[in-house]
Chains A and B, each alone.
Chain A
């Protein structure tokens, strides 16, 4: 089965988790000068981010470091309170409470971290990690036999077979890929509807990354999960995700079907990102990309006015410096937050 077919067959339409205008500002520690100037500075880590995670689909969130993509994952996992905006789970707004409402939420929405060396406790066995997840979320069943069965099922689900070989291992006895699989099994222990995977493969050896991505895709298909795949590698987003969102300096600048976004990037930032990605097929068109833009992401304490990409953008117009661009819908469900696509003038400029 090819990727396209499987994606088409399983793409659900029902939204499980939705973010609406989610914003997060972190306060900056005030220096003496700030106090004297009566200045309060904040890091605009995430501004006005809206996204929908649908059942049985993988949504990729692509961006450079510091673009706020991990903050989005943590906001969706409710590890941080929101500055503004709303998160809806299954159509209902979720509050900021901790306690019981938080636990019901976490049961549905599980987070997988980047570094499996750090996210597993080195003094506990695989059995402990998984049992704890099952017990906390009330899925340990009655008695030891049920528990053993659930543990074995979890490990089989992440292809750590035979399970008894892994249950009593400590994290240091496992390889990076196996550790990440344990972390995934632990997340599945809650029987969630949504998996938030924050760079799940970037710490792993290259030869085993695809194994973990293929496992996640298999889980998505079998368990009908909604997966948010956070990555800096846009080629892996094309491979693994159904839809792709591109984030720059705290805002989502482009979104759409992964194939469309990677083959016909609309936003100049996405174009720059794709031109920069290593690509063995590219031969000698180095010079052609010189104009794609350079420079570095802006400070998020004092983000540029208007479009945040305008200081680096080769196609910046006067308007980009003052007004932040809204979403403009393009063909095939693709959209871009870029003034190039405002009405007729954009039709030409995008070519």
Chain B
């Protein structure tokens, strides 16, 4: 893995609504995606993980507003592109071509009254106007084969496909223009485990072939540990810990990461009593002061209730960051 960044997010803030009723969905999010890497983004509902995906792709619709921060895309061999200030035309060219997104509900992302063929070629039609119809069809067939669907399904309508196949079509569409970055927002949550594994395995294979980078968003941290290179864990709109997948698994530093890991019963090894995390995730409109996790945290101490911990390296020289007063001293 090279350490060359391809997407850098710094100090990103997103609010839903403005004025006194507005809530902060994302606060000071710093995140870097490196070339060829699978970055896992884990968190519970309301932690801001999907908001992050929407903000980065500028798909955030009102009342969501980006109130601060930068998102830069580093095109190979060219200067950084500021995504947040792209003109509508440039943005349209940027999407799908450089960055694509696979949404959570494959069932709802495909248009039910159009065939797979017309939806796949639509992307090509918009971005490659010079392509001829026969070429587009050939490319669509190639894409379907790539994700493991036989090419005769090209004429099928979405309702004629199973959930797993629909999700594969969405992945094929995301890969149509061979983008550098693919953002996947809970791509397999609606699928069964067997199908989930098949699709993930395929994704790993495709990534080796086409070498794109992936931001993989899910609430299932045990899946991420197996599948991603690096994991960022979100809670209450902030990133609370960021480290390599195996480091998170073997040695979680943030009490929330630890609790999350202990919320999934293991399939192997000794059976042990698990407790989950007491309490419930905070609501965006009533975010606790200080560290958002402190009311649920068993290790909360003095500074936690009123000082917000900063994301920092727990020990110098380590390639991981954690936002917790257990590991950093308040200033």
Q: Which positions 226-252 of chain B face chain A at CB distance < 8 Å? A: 226, 249
Q: Are B265 and A281 in contact (CB under 8 A)?
A: no
Q: What is the CB-to-nearest-CB distance from B269 to chain A, in angstroms, rounded to a whole number?
A: 7
Partner of A207, one of B193, B220, B281: B281
Partner of B271, one of A4, A278, A280: A4
Q: List 20 A-B contacts (CB under 8 A).
A: A2-B271, A2-B273, A4-B271, A176-B280, A178-B280, A206-B220, A207-B260, A208-B276, A210-B265, A210-B275, A235-B266, A238-B265, A274-B267, A278-B264, A279-B267, A280-B225, A281-B268, A282-B226, A286-B201, A286-B204
Q: What is the CB-to-nearest-CB distance from A62 to chain B, in angstroms, rounded to a whole number?
A: 10
Chain A residues positioned under 8 Å from B266 (CB to CB): 235, 279, 281
A233 CA / B196 CA spacing, docked (Å): 13
Q: What is the CB-to-nearest-CB distance from A206 to chain B, in angstroms, rounded to a whole number?
A: 5
Q: What is the CB-to-nearest-CB distance from B274 to chain A, in angstroms, rounded to a whole number?
A: 5
B84 close to chain A: CB less than 8 A: no
Contacts A206-B219, A276-B194 known; 17 new A-B pairs at CB < 8 A = A175-B280, A205-B280, A206-B220, A207-B277, A210-B263, A233-B193, A235-B264, A239-B271, A273-B194, A276-B193, A278-B225, A279-B222, A279-B226, A281-B268, A286-B201, A296-B162, A296-B195
Q: Are A235 and B267 in contact (CB under 8 A)?
A: yes
Chain A residues positioned under 8 Å from B45 (CB to CB): 205
Chain B residues positioned under 8 Å from A112 (CB to CB): none
- A-contact 0/1 string along B209-225, CB 8 Å cutoff: 00000000001111101
Chain B residues positioned under 8 Å from A205 (CB to CB): 44-45, 219, 280-281
A231 CA / B280 CA spacing, docked (Å): 22
Partner of B192, one of A232, A236, A279, A289: A232
A209 CA / B280 CA spacing, docked (Å): 10
Q: Are B222 and A278 in contact (CB under 8 A)?
A: yes
Partner of B265, one of A175, A235, A286: A235
Partner of B276, one of A210, A274, A277, A281: A210
Q: Which positions 114-133 of chain B face chain A at CB distance < 8 Å? A: none
Chain B residues positioned under 8 Å from A282 (CB to CB): 226
A203 CA / B225 CA spacing, docked (Å): 22
- B-contact 0/1 string along A266-289, CB 8 Å cutoff: 000000111111111110001001
Partner of B273, one of A3, A262, A279: A3
Q: What is the CB-to-nearest-CB distance from B199 to chain A, in angstroms, rounded to a whole number?
A: 11
B68 close to chain A: CB less than 8 A: no
Also in contact, A209 and B193, with CB within 8 A (given A235-B267, A277-B267, A278-B222) = no
Q: Are A211 and B162 in contact (CB under 8 A)?
A: no
B164 close to chain A: CB less than 8 A: yes
The 7 nearest A-B residue pairs measured at CB: A210-B276, A239-B265, A280-B225, A207-B277, A64-B192, A175-B280, A278-B223
B198 close to chain A: CB less than 8 A: yes
Q: Are B276 and A278 in contact (CB under 8 A)?
A: no
Chain A residues positioned under 8 Å from B194 (CB to CB): 64, 272-273, 276, 294
Q: Which positions 195-227 of chain A face chain B at CB distance < 8 Å? A: 205-211, 214
B278 close to chain A: CB less than 8 A: yes
Also in contact, A277 and B193, with CB within 8 A (given A205-B45, A210-B274, A211-B278) = yes
Chain A residues positioned under 8 Å from B273 (CB to CB): 2-3
Q: Are B268 and A207 in contact (CB under 8 A)?
A: no
Also in contact, A206 and B280, with CB within 8 A (given A235-B265, A236-B265) = no
Q: How many residues of B contact A (CB 8 A)?
A: 40
Q: Are A276 and B274 in contact (CB under 8 A)?
A: no
A171 close to chain B: CB less than 8 A: no
Q: Which positions 1-30 of chain A face chain B at CB distance < 8 Å? A: 2-4
Closest to A240 in B: B265
Chain A residues positioned under 8 Å from B69 (CB to CB): none
Chain A residues positioned under 8 Å from B314 (CB to CB): none
Closest to A294 in B: B198
Q: What is the CB-to-nearest-CB distance from B220 to chain A, in angstroms, rounded to a whole number?
A: 6
Chain A residues positioned under 8 Å from B201 (CB to CB): 286
A263 close to chain B: CB less than 8 A: yes
B197 close to chain A: CB less than 8 A: yes
Closest to B275 in A: A210
A289 CA / B226 CA spacing, docked (Å): 14
A220 CA / B84 CA spacing, docked (Å): 54
A56 close to chain B: CB less than 8 A: no
A274 CA / B271 CA spacing, docked (Å): 16
A101 close to chain B: CB less than 8 A: no
Q: What is the CB-to-nearest-CB distance from A267 to chain B, in angstroms, rounded to a whole number?
A: 14
Chain B residues positioned under 8 Å from A296 (CB to CB): 162, 164, 195
A275 CA / B204 CA spacing, docked (Å): 17
- B-contact 0/1 string along A233-271, CB 8 Å cutoff: 111101110000000000000000001001100000000
A347 close to chain B: CB less than 8 A: no
A235 CA / B274 CA spacing, docked (Å): 12
A121 close to chain B: CB less than 8 A: no
Q: What is the CB-to-nearest-CB distance from B230 to chain A, in angstroms, rounded to a whole number?
A: 15
Q: What is the CB-to-nearest-CB distance from B187 to chain A, in angstroms, rounded to a whole number?
A: 14
A116 close to chain B: CB less than 8 A: no
B259 close to chain A: CB less than 8 A: yes
A262 CA / B265 CA spacing, docked (Å): 12
Partner of A280, one of B164, B222, B278, B281: B222
